[in-house]
């Protein structure tokens, strides 16, 4: 089949609260090709996680889909029935969550939690499914899987738990893996292992990844293309290398500048890391015009009044800024 695996077009997510309805996410569009790793980066509260939940069809009150299209493999799924979505979830799109501590059921052995996938989607009996669960644990390189399948989540370390989550997500060979901050809760050394494991398994199975993180460095390492979100909108999307070399939006520049880099000190001398001043505005008080304008170093009058259009970048990608170029 041709065309992208996932196409999100003009997505809007509404948040109902205090008698008013806000747009938590708007005008969000991106595409992910088959087997491609795509990164979505932004600060906490910018709407990246709920975008992922919207793709999974897992938005719950007070959040709801306000508009736009989500197209999986040429089929629109934003209005799919609950039963249709259930058949897609787990089977064709799977998700890994941020907290491996709480994302697994504490009262159920991990093997059983993996085996559920085979029972649900491949109609297996529990015995056969448990054998497959053991294989799945071996694939994510959990040592002595034959013993570990009987373990409960509290008997595993954070890294091991996240491996179990990966085993669950990849159990039925989905086309798309949504990874929402999969390593944020882990130690740095474990982070690298988990990322490598995810990248390797997905490459082997041809699974596309929607990687969601606040860590621009991590995302750029793993993904070919990256989109940067700010306050519910995508402000820039580019190829991963290009985003470091030529960040086009002032917010992206701020993110890139705030990353510490090895070897920089000998060139530029000892200096403080730069930060972006101010905080992300609350959803009920998004500023008019460009939502980054209160924190932007090069803000002008037009930024406070007019919402910037998405403009194509010379090579590939888009930026939403009145002053780019």
Token output for 119: 């029972």
Which of 2, 19, 79, 107 contacts other proteins by CB under 8 A?
107
CA distances from 160 to 54, 149, 157, 166, 194 (A): 28, 12, 5, 10, 9
φ and ψ of 174, to 5 deg: -70, 160
Instruction: Provide the terminal-to-terminal Cα distance of the chain, rounded to the nearest Å.
Output: 37
Which of 120, 197, 199, 299 contacts other proteins by CB under 8 A?
120
Smallest distance, Å, CB 125 to other proteins? 15
Q: Which of residues 17-36 bind other proteins (CB under 8 A)?
A: none
Closest C-alpha to 133, from 120, 158, 116: 116
Smallest distance, Å, CB 45 to other proteins? 18
Smallest distance, Å, CB 307 to other proteins? 33
CA neighbours closer than 13 Å in the CB half-sphere of residue 42: 27
Q: By CB under 8 A, is residue 87 in contact with other proteins? A: yes
Smallest distance, Å, CB 89 to other proteins? 4
Smallest distance, Å, CB 178 to other proteins? 8
Stretch of 13-21, 108-116, 196-204, 240-248 contacting other proteins, by CB under 8 A: 108-116
Instruction: Give the CA-trace dihedral at 136, 107, 193, 189, to 10 degrees.
Output: -170
Nearer to other proteins, 8 or 168 (CB): 168
Stretch of 10-18, 93-101, 194-202, 247-255 contacting other proteins, by CB under 8 A: 93-101
Q: By CB under 8 A, is residue 124 in contact with other proteins? A: no
Stretch of 89-97, 127-135, 251-259, 278-286 contacting other proteins, by CB under 8 A: 89-97
Task: Tally the residues of the chain.
Answer: 325
Angle at the Cα of 109 (from 197 to 203), degrees rounded to 5? 20
Query: What is the rounded distance in angstroms from the CA atom of residue 199 to the CA atom of residue 209?
Result: 8
φ and ψ of 305, to 5 deg: -115, -40
Q: By CB under 8 A, is residue 168 in contact with other proteins? A: yes
Q: By CB under 8 A, is residue 91 in contact with other proteins? A: yes
- Residues lying near other proteins in the complex (CB under 8 A) are found at 56, 58, 83, 85-91, 94-95, 97, 99, 102-109, 116-117, 120-121, 152, 154-155, 165, 168
């Amino acid at each position: 089949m041709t065309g992208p695996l996932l196409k999100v077009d003009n997505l809007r997510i509404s948040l109902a609260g205090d008698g008013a309805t806000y747009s938590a996410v708007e005008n969000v569009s991106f595409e992910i090709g088959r087997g491609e790793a795509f990164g979505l980066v932004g600060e906490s509260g910018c709407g990246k996680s709920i975008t992922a939940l919207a793709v999974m069809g897992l938005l719950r009150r007070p959040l709801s889909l306000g508009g736009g299209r989500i197209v999986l493999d040429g089929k629109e799924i934003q209005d799919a029935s609950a039963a249709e979505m259930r058949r897609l979830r787990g089977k064709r799109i799977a998700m890994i969550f941020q907290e491996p501590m709480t994302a697994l059921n504490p009262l159920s052995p991990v093997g059983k939690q993996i085996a559920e996938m085979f029972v649900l989607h491949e109609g297996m009996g529990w015995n056969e499914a448990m054998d497959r669960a053991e294989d799945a644990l071996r694939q994510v390189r959990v040592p002595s899987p034959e013993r570990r399948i009987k373990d409960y989540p509290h008997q595993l370390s954070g890294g091991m738990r996240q491996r179990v989550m990966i085993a669950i997500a990849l159990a039925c060979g989905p086309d798309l893996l949504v990874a929402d901050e999969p390593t944020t809760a882990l130690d740095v050394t474990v982070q690298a292992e988990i990322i490598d494991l995810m990248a390797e398994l997905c490459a082997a199975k041809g699974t596309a990844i929607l990687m969601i993180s606040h860590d621009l460095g991590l995302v750029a390492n793993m993904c070919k293309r990256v989109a940067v979100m700010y306050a519910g909108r995508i402000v820039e999307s580019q190829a991963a290398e290009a985003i470091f070399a030529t960040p086009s939006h002032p917010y992206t520049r701020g993110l890139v500048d705030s990353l510490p880099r090895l070897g920089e000190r000998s060139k530029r001398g000892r200096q403080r890391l730069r930060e972006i001043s101010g905080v992300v505005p609350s959803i009920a008080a998004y500023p008019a015009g460009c939502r980054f304008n209160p924190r932007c170093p090069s803000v002008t009058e037009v930024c406070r009044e007019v919402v910037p259009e998405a403009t194509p970048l010379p090579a590939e990608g888009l930026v939403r800024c009145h002053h780019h170029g």
